[in-house]
Amino acid sequence: MKRKLLTCLSILSISTMIFAQTTFESKVIIDSSTGANPYAIDSGLLDNDAFVDIVIGTDGGNTVEWYRNNGDGTFDTPITLVATGAEALLYVEGVHIADLDGINGNDILATSYGNSNLVWFANNGDGTFANAVTIGNSLISGAGAVTTGYIDAGSTLDVAVLAYGSSDVFWFSNDGSGNFTGPNTIASVPSTGPGAIDLVDYDADGDLDAVIANTDAGTIEIYDNNLLPSGAGTVSFTKYMNTVSSGNGYLFDIEVKDVNDDGTLDILKSDNNPSGGSANIAYYTKNSSGTATTFEPTTIATSITRTSLVKVADFDNDAKNDLLVASDRATQPQDVIWLKVMILVGFLQKSH
């Protein structure tokens, strides 16, 4: 365990701070022979037990693999889901677990960069999944990250997907029975290369807005969902006047959470290849309201210089959010670092 002060914006001295003694055990290999180049991952309940399972997508193996959690610290041999013919997958770069049809629990979504496909696997409720069914293709050039949310403020989860190749962000309306209408456009900006998305009610007006990280352009933008509070019944999106962040080298991940525990949403970014002195990890707070809001950055220092995934959660049950930061370079000193919050806006490199 390493204890190194990274960022402390509190005026209190370190001696007045008390840290929980939470630690993490050594890593356990779940599978050393996945399909080639495991690229995407999600977790959730997929069978009739209370143990969280894992799904991965492989970029080189073109597979979607389900690891059933046995509840004793082990996972079953993976089950490869079936996607053939028109539903075939080539370079799987997105997977997501969600209940799309309200039957048998959570289903699995997957995207295919090579043939621009977006598919879903229905949960049969007996520990198996139906073969892949296409939600959308052809227009989704270079399909990447995929997520779900109640975009039209209905009772069934809609699907949002990034088209990296054409720099579009689309969403599909779900009727709750496995039928999807779309693609509908959230954003279309040439040469931006959207790489990550989060759906969240950023302006607290009752509908889900889209926060998008553009990998090629190095920018983070917010698109306001105009559905509510007007109640017009149709979804359209308007880009905020001000860019959240610009000048990034290679945006890898974003997440919208209350990072600093002040009761308002922040936007957390991970820049895998920061340039021009920009931070690899930072979060952005809003200092006004509406689509004209401006954003203030706070840098979070870490020994990982090439960060990939970043996640916000309360890992030690102290009612304050912490950060989990991952590296994509095997030559770096840590693969994963837990950054524990101090007071409200400081973080301590806790363990890895």
Say whether pLDDT at 352 is over 80: no
Say whether pLDDT at 323 is over 80: yes
SS3 (DSSP) at 228 = coil
Q: Using an 8 Å Cβ cutoff, are 167 and 191 in contact?
A: yes
Going by their DSSP bridges, the two strands 143-149 and 158-163 should be labelled as antiparallel
Q: Using an 8 Å Cβ cutoff, are 66 and 53 in contact?
A: yes
d(CA 7, CA 72): 37
Residue with tokens 């270079």: 142
**Where residue 177 falls among pLDDT bands split at 50, 70, 90?**
confident
Does the global pTM surpass 0.85? yes
d(CA 112, CA 161): 11
Own/partner contacts of 274-283, CB < 8 Å, gap of 24 or more, are 274/248, 274/249, 274/305, 275/247, 275/248, 275/249, 276/247, 276/249, 278/247, 278/248, 278/249, 280/304, 280/305, 280/306, 280/307, 281/307, 281/310, 281/323, 281/325, 282/245, 283/259
> How large a percentage of the chain has pLDDT more than 90?
65
Say whether pLDDT at 203 is over 80: yes
Burial 111-130 (b: 16+ CB within 10 A, else e): bbbebbbbbbbbbeeeeebb
**Where residue 25 falls among pLDDT bands split at 50, 70, 90?**
low
DSSP 263-307: SS-EEEEEESS--TT--SEEEEEE-S-GGG--EEEEE---S-SSE
Over the stretch 205-253, which tens digit does the pLDDT of each residue have? 999 999 999 999 999 999 999 998 766 668 999 999 999 999 999 999 9
What count of Cα atoms within 13 Å lies in the side-chain half-sphere of residue 164?
A: 23
Over the stretch 54-107, which tens digit does the pLDDT of each residue have? 999 999 999 999 999 999 989 999 999 999 999 999 999 999 999 999 999 999
Which pLDDT does position 7 carry in this prediction? 30
Peptide bond into 183 cis (omega under 30): yes
Which pLDDT does position 128 carry in this prediction? 95
CA distances from 38 to 41, 94, 196, 263 (A): 8, 10, 17, 36
Over the stretch 255-303, which tens digit does the pLDDT of each residue have? 999 998 889 999 999 999 998 778 899 999 998 878 999 999 999 877 7
| DSSP count for the chain of H helices, then E strands | 0, 25
**Where residue 28 falls among pLDDT bands split at 50, 70, 90?**
confident
**Where residue 13 falls among pLDDT bands split at 50, 70, 90?**
very low
DSSP-derived letter for residue 130 is: P
Which pLDDT does position 340 carry in this prediction? 66
Amino acid at 256: V
Which pLDDT does position 26 carry in this prediction? 65
Q: What value does the mean pLDDT take over residues 313-319?
A: 81
Say whether pLDDT at 12 is over 80: no
